[in-house]
Structure 1
Amino acid sequence: MKLVIISGRSGSGKSTALNVLEDLGFYCIDNLPVMLLPTLMQQANQQGTGLVGMAVSIDARNIRSELGNFADIVSQLPNDCILEIIYLDAHVDTLLTRFSATRRKHPLTDADVPLFEAINKEVELLHHIADMADLTIDTTHLSMHQLRTMIKNRVVDKDSNEMSILFESFGFKHGIPKDSDLVFDVRCLPNPYWDPQLRHFTGQDQAIIDFLSDESSVNEMYSDIDDYLQKWLPEFQNNNRTYMTISIGCTGGQHRSVYMTERLYQAYEKRYQNVQLRHRELNP
């Protein structure tokens, strides 16, 4: 049976992710004590639930010593358990804003621990889980709807043996996506922004596509990135890597990175079964 563990800092979207999995047929448990994981899966296998799988949320409310023994406890899962660990996170400022908006109490705050300190303290408590995550999702720039779609497309709709690949464009001036596995910088390419007639378009528009397609340096950059991915993605997959987030960045995330990301996505969706596309700055 498939077991999906959802973890991450409070306010990062764990409840949303768990709700998606429940809607799609998973039996979901919020804040399960880590030590109960092996027993839960053993009983699920014995009883034959007939469900798509199990999904549990594990966060900083767990006993600290059990979080520290996470790897040992997970090693006790049944051999036929298909485990995937999804870790959600967001920028500290984003988490502070979300708690301010909802007025929820952070589980680690008390009279002596303010919210900012509690949010940072979670990193230490959860690093054993974060280090083992198959997929890390930075929800800083994701809406609830976008997160739901990402969980469905990358986790639920993925066969257990295939690699899920996300091509994502971004602007360096807005920060590098924290969940990137590979980052390619295309800021050295000709920039359509400096042409007033092209500035208001994006890399999805034909005017920008025509402009960049005619540049030899753009085609050389694409060829080099494509060669690298064709050579090394199979090696990552052979090493049991099931998720890859490939981020392409330019200055503002509007033209060059969008064009290159679209071009790579169109090529790789024909080579792999689960390939996703996201333009971070175009879909805030």
Structure 2
Amino acid sequence: MEFLIVTGMSGAGKSGAANVLEDMGYYCIDNIPPALIAKFSEICMQSKGKISKVAMVVDSRGGDLFGDLLESLDRLKERDNCYKILFLDCDDDVLITRYKETRRKHPLCEGAAVTLQEAIRRERELLQPAHQRANYIIDTTLLTAAQLRDKIYQIFLDGGSRMLINCMSFGFKYGLPSDADLVFDVRCLPNPFYIPELKEKTGRDRPVEDYVLSFEQSTTLLDKLKDLLGYLAPLYVEEGKSQLMVAIGCTGGKHRSVVFTEHLGAFLTEQGYRVVCNHRDILKTKK
């Protein structure tokens, strides 16, 4: 199991980093007391494979409790639990500006008559041991939110595209998917439903696939959709989108849309994207 400790200066972007890690499949927990890290890791290890990557955000919001961090990490190491530390840093002047813009109170200012500058100085001292142990340090002083996201993907995503593409088949008779980014209608193609020996099969069955793709209009449409997605996907990546839902619909979501979803998913996988194919209505009975 992979454990990642996310820490750093308040206002440096830890919450944003956690959101990106969650998009990448990490199970994220925010503001965990350091003393509970070892116990929480035990719970995750007992998840029987349901959890494989965990990111725990630990920072000065815990006050004096933060002092338990190094001891907890040593306990993890003793149990052979591998972990890494991501430290988010930022220049003091930029942190001050960010706090003024958001009008939020620094956690070390709570209940204490200290200035923002003094709180930042104290926090640096408190976090110095974690900074020294950090495996990765990202200085967000000059980074936009999109650039921070890119940095995290570059560090923690092993190859491929940072964007996850979900290719879904569906039946128009059951309604449009509400979360679709792109919707393509293949009801214009010959329908295997009207072929008795194909009616009860699905687009995952070779005879249905062969039938759907035996028509010139089908192969032409498939090629055009590949060209379109091949053009659009990099633009979505550049824009910073972390997930893209591509929905392909036919009447019942059982034949034509399934064939096209499988082929488009395979094409996008070949292009280096992380792709998940699912068929929303494939098992539903057409009325």
Normalising by the smaller structure, the TM-score range is: 0.5 to 0.7
Q: Aligned equivalents of 1:25 and 1:52: distance in 2?
A: 9
Aligned to 2:72: 73
Name the structure 2 match of 1:264: none
Any idea what the Cα deviations from partners look like across 1:222-262, whole Å, max 9, x if unmatched? xxxxxxxxxxxxxxxxxxxxxxxxxxxxxxxxxxxxxxxxx
Instruction: Choose 134-143 or 43-52, whichever is displaced more.
Output: 43-52
Could you tell me which residue of structure 1 aligns to residue 145 of structure 2?
144
Q: After TM superposition, give the deviation of residue 157 of structure 1 in Å.
A: 2.6
> C-alpha distance in 2, partners of 1:131/1:144?
25
The aligned counterpart of 1:42 is 42
- For 2:279, the equivalent position in structure 1 comes to none
Amino acid of the structure 2 residue aligned with 1:73? S
- Report the residue type matching 1:149 in the other structure: D
Matched ranges for 1:136-215 at <5 A: 136-157=137-158
Q: Following the alignment from structure 1 to structure 2, what is the Cα–Cα distance between the partners of residues 56 and 121?
A: 22
Q: Mind listing any 5+ residue stretches in structure 2 that lack a counterpart?
A: 160-287
Amino acid at match of 1:51: I
Given that 2:76 and 2:82 are in contact with CA atoms closer than 8 Å, whether structure 1 keeps it comes out as no
Q: CA deviation at 1:81?
A: 2.2
Q: Is the 8 A contact 1:25 1:51 kept in 2?
A: no
> What is aligned with 1:104?
104
Is it true that 1:128 corresponds to 2:129 in the alignment? yes
Q: CA separation in 2, counterparts of 1:121 and 1:71?
A: 18
2:61 and 2:107 in contact (8 A); partners too: yes
Q: Is the 8 A contact 1:33 1:63 kept in 2?
A: no
Q: Is the 2:89–2:138 Cα contact (8 Å) retained in structure 1?
A: yes
SS of residue paired to 1:76: helix
Moved over 6 A (4+): none
Determine the C-alpha separation between the residues in 1 that align with 2:123 and 2:66.
Answer: 11
Cα separation, 2, equivalents of 1:18 and 1:56: 8
Normalising by structure 1, we get a TM-score of 0.52
Which residue of structure 1 lines up, in the alignment, with residue 119 of structure 2? 118
Q: Which residue of 1 aligns with 2:92?
A: 92
Report the CA distance between 1:155 and its aligned residue.
2.0
Q: Identify unmatched segments of 5+ residues in structure 1.
A: 159-284
One-letter code aligned to 1:128: P
CA distance in 2, matches of 1:108, 1:69: 17
Shift of 1:48: 2.3
Q: Matched residue of 1:108: which SS?
A: helix
Secondary structure of the equivalent of 1:145? Answer: helix
Structure 2 CA distance for aligned equivalents of residues 117 and 16 of structure 1: 25
> Do the aligned partners of 1:87 and 1:130 also contact (CA within 8 Å) in 2?
yes
Q: How far, CA to CA, are the matches of 1:8 and 1:156 in structure 2?
A: 21
Aligned-residue CA RMSD in angstroms?
Answer: 1.7
Give how far 1:26 is off.
Answer: 0.8
TM-score, with structure 2 as normaliser = 0.52
Structure 1 residues 80 and 48: alpha-carbon distance in aligned structure 2, compared to 1, 3 A threshold: farther
CA distance in 1, matches of 2:106, 2:49: 34
Q: How many residues align?
A: 157
| Correspondence for 2:8 | 8
Measure how far apart 1:71 and its partner are: 2.4
SS of structure 2 residue aligned to 1:31: coil
| CA positional deviation for 1:17 | 0.6
Q: How many percent identity over aligned positions? A: 41
Displacement after TM superposition at 1:54 (Å): 0.6
2:126 and 2:32 map into 1 onto residues whose CA distance is: 16
Correspondence for 1:225: none
Whole-Å separation in 2 of the counterparts to 1:42 and 1:99:
36
In structure 1, what is the Cα distance between the partners aligned to 2:158 and 2:82? 15
Q: Alignment partner of 1:77: what SS?
A: helix
Residue type at the aligned position of 2:35: M
